[in-house]
Chain A
């Protein structure tokens, strides 16, 4: 790929194929939330050193690299920093810490029709919007017909945009934006606008863009569109990257996270402290403390608790989750008809939860809680009571050990080794955690 004629000259750069398209290195972006924004000279003088604010990290230590031609989806719940990340890539915001490098011309579809002026006609707004996006006069003229045709506004060209419907305005904005023809396209949640036909055309245009080998970063909550459009997913949560890998896995992980956060959480309601958890131990089948285990090991979670007041009955709960927070298993002793109690003040009790960790290689954490019998009031909770890692072993990959076995039932079969052919690829996530 040779450097091409610079079209959108605002971003200015030509493409250097040797370098990645996007490098985000240890980026932290902090927003200062003023409790009462001192926004004037008077206030500033008056409360010079007393401005009260909270610093809030929209992004925390985010690093990733995007190669040319990759199509990346950034997904995560609201407020997880997706839009901030796009703004950093689009250079709208400078990073507070770390560096953001983009290689090639960047165009962003963060807001369609931003900069449209109601008093100007469609024709004039196309010129203005094109210029805002970095096109020169000649380039706008060159693309003018294409824009008009794509947006379908021929008959309204000389009408003030003020009279356009909002859908029409967005169409015009999109039409201008996609003709900028960048090397890196940033799209923020625009698939949801316009009628069905226009949506299909927009998707088509983006697919074409992707298939031309351009780099593509999409922020969306539409997980089906994400899976359709992108090869790779970056999942953000509260400003941190919790997953970076194939889009199918990323979307699945995000779905699970949404599901688990929707489920009642052990620490949601905290009642008065009636019980203290003194000690939690994770033991192997031999009764020794363990932290590294083989897959499908038999484990014992031993919880020692102490009553702080007189307790009629209580329930001990354990939640097993993957290192990134994915909810894997939850058990409360009362679900199995086992309660602890009655307990006198300072009386101790030990509860053992025996389980088989049908898990494959990865890092896992166990949270412990003591609740009332109904599980409604939480009396004590230890968020990361125990941690364990399952060692990689041959014979299957993924998250859960389904103990599968393979047999050739028809046709010739052949042994290909001793069954230990190569290590199981660790999901990227675990590699990331092992590093950190």
Chain B
């Protein structure tokens, strides 16, 4: 009783088993709440697009502008030696934006809905998940809008290898669900997490091969900076971005030559290893995020 709440749960013996049981009954409950999830997703999209078709186009402005700016900077000023840099960038950036926006929405979802949580019972996880799924719909719409450009610049391979893209998005959704729940749950206890959020994601963004290809890092980091390449390889977001880019843009490999260090191929099927790593991260993050969230969720009504 004398311990501050929030840090002592893990020390209670038998907690993991209780958590597992809680997870299975909670999953049934979550399934029953699918209508609520659907309504919340609809609400998110509606509020975001403000009931207008133009609203969607407005929300496309950020990625398009970012692509324009980064394209100028990284092809004209600092050269990143890949073909079709805009296509290269946007194929990674959309995926990254999905991850970041989902987490950004989810982190406030519990604290921001405090009144609702104190008054009505429903599976709390629908709140962060509604942000993930509305972002997912947004991502799919954005891909639809951008697909003509990607097909134009990268060939029909983009269409043929659609399963690669969809697999990447599916795995990323699982991963994002986990991390979104984690952020939402932890933010209730550590309110300044949301202040740190911007910094965390800024660092994470540069640690993920969105602007640059992973192959370039591996090729150009010498012995001394090998750890940077390792760090990027440990970063789970790397694998989802690489996987999605494989389907939307194509492969990028190092040649070992000084003048043209990179060679890019058309969209391709992913390797088993890369798929397994991404799937592993997705499942792990979902489990960790969900268990942490459920453990916290019991007392949300007291803490928000």
Q: Which A residues have a C-beta under 8 Å from some C-beta of B?
A: 9-12, 31-32, 38-42, 44, 48-49, 51, 55, 87, 90-94, 106, 108, 110-111, 114-115, 117, 119-120, 124, 127-128, 131-137, 140
Contacts and interface: CB of A to CB of B under 8 A. Distances in A.
Nearest to A135: B35
B120 to A, nearest CB: 5
Interface in B119-160: 119-123
Contacts of B47: 117, 119-120
Contacts of B119: 92, 108, 110-111, 114
B38 A41 contact: no
A10 B29 contact: yes
Max chain B Cβ within 10 angstroms of own Cβ: one of A41, A135, A137, A140: A41
Contacts of A106: 121
Contact of B190 (A10, A32, A40): A40
B192 A111 contact: no
B38 A131 contact: yes
Contacts of B120: 90, 92, 108, 110-111, 114-115, 132-133
A134 B36 CA distance: 7
A111 B119 CA distance: 6
B191 A120 contact: no
B36 A87 contact: no
Contacts of B189: 39, 44
A132 B189 CA distance: 24
A322 B32 CA distance: 50
A199 to B, nearest CB: 21
B116 A115 contact: yes
A312 to B, nearest CB: 50
Contacts of B40: 128, 131
B43 A120 contact: yes
Nearest to B47: A119
B141 to A, nearest CB: 20
Interface string B273-304: 00000000000000000000000001101100
Contacts of A12: 28-29, 32
21 contacts: A10-B33, A10-B121, A10-B123, A11-B121, A12-B28, A39-B191, A39-B192, A40-B190, A41-B192, A42-B192, A44-B4, A51-B4, A92-B121, A106-B121, A108-B121, A111-B115, A115-B116, A117-B43, A119-B46, A120-B47, A132-B39
B291 to A, nearest CB: 17
A9 B302 contact: no
A133 B122 CA distance: 8
A111 B114 CA distance: 13
Interface residues of B, number: 39
A165 B50 CA distance: 22
Nearest to A127: B39
Indicate the member of B1, B117, B119, B190 with the most A CB atoms within 10 Å.
Answer: B119
Contacts of A32: 5, 302
B32 A114 contact: no
User: Top 7 closest A-B pairs, CB basis?
Assistant: A111-B119, A40-B192, A131-B36, A114-B119, A131-B39, A91-B121, A41-B190
Interface in B173-219: 189-193, 196
B118 interface: yes
B199 to A, nearest CB: 13
Nearest to A34: B4
A114 B115 contact: yes
Contacts of B36: 10, 131-132, 134
B39 A92 contact: no
Contacts of B35: 131, 135-137, 140
Given A41-B190, A135-B35, A92 B46 contact: no
Given A108-B120, A115-B116, A38 B4 contact: yes
A124 B32 contact: no
B112 to A, nearest CB: 12
B247 to A, nearest CB: 33
B122 A132 contact: yes
Interface string B87-116: 000000000000000000000000001011
Given A10-B122, A94-B299, A132-B122, 12 more contacts: A40-B192, A44-B189, A87-B118, A90-B120, A110-B119, A114-B119, A119-B46, A124-B43, A128-B39, A131-B33, A131-B35, A134-B122
Residue in A38, A108, A132, A135 whose Cβ sees the most chain B Cβ within 10 Å: A132
B76 to A, nearest CB: 41
B190 A92 contact: no
Contacts of A133: 120
A92 B117 CA distance: 7
B4 A41 contact: no
